Amino acid sequence: MVQSQGWVRRYFKAFCKGFFVAVPVAVTFLDRVACVARVEGASMQPSLNPGGSQSSDVVLLNHWKVRNFEVQRGDIVSLVSPKNPEQKIIKRVIALEGDIVKTMGHKNRYVKVPRGHIWVEGDHHGHSFDSNSFGPVSLGLLHAHATHILWPPKRWQKLESVLPPERLLVQSEEDCLVERLTEEVAPKWKMRQSGGKVRTDGYREGR
């Protein structure tokens, strides 16, 4: 009986020792290496949650890949919301520091991404709260790189780092200036072709 009690005591002691060692390891793994998360909302459709509210994708978030704040254009990343520190959002990286991006609804038509920042957007334009609303995002808000869809099983796949064709970058500040001038001059040229005159104040005037 005494031997039995001693065995139980040793087993319980070994279990407790193993448990308190394993728990910090698990926490460290989730915090430093990777974790899984369920994606909510429609901002990343059709890449994520293509079925809308009928189903939600579960993705693998790789913390290790962004430990040095190294990301590429086209990466899908999770980050702390610049507007709500308690919330994490998932978006696609469109531009890196130094890039010039042609915005979609931002107060400035063109934005040069400052040092230590990235420009992120949802794939579902018009249904995404992203850099077009809050501007460039600090690299310090990066949380993880979404690398795979794990659930549902029929959706299992690797998430590729690709830029949408319509979101190609402006190559230089000169290109930005040329494109801006083109946008301003083209309507005036059309007015001239239609037979009207364009005054210096921009109004069309008939002959």
The tens digit of pLDDT for each residue in 66-78 reads 888 889 999 999 9
**C-alpha span between 50 and 76 (Å, rounded):** 15
Sign of the Cα pseudo-torsion (157, 122, 77, 22, in order): negative
Q: Quick check: pTM over 0.85? A: no
Which of left, alpha, beta for 34 (phi over 0: left; psi -120 to 50: alpha)?
beta
d(CA 96, CA 71): 8
Per-residue pLDDT reduced to its tens digit, 41-94:
889 999 999 877 677 899 999 988 888 888 999 999 999 999 999 999 999 999
Handedness of CA 119, 125, 128, 132 (dihedral sign): positive
First to last CA, the chain: 114
What digits encode the pLDDT tens for the residues 163-188?
Answer: 888 887 665 565 556 565 556 555 55
Among the options 47, 65, 78, 91, which is catalytic? 91
107 has catalytic annotation = no
* Cα 43 to Cα 128: distance, rounded to the nearest angstrom: 5
**Residue 91 designated active-site:** yes
Closest CA to 100 of 109, 110, 92, 108: 110
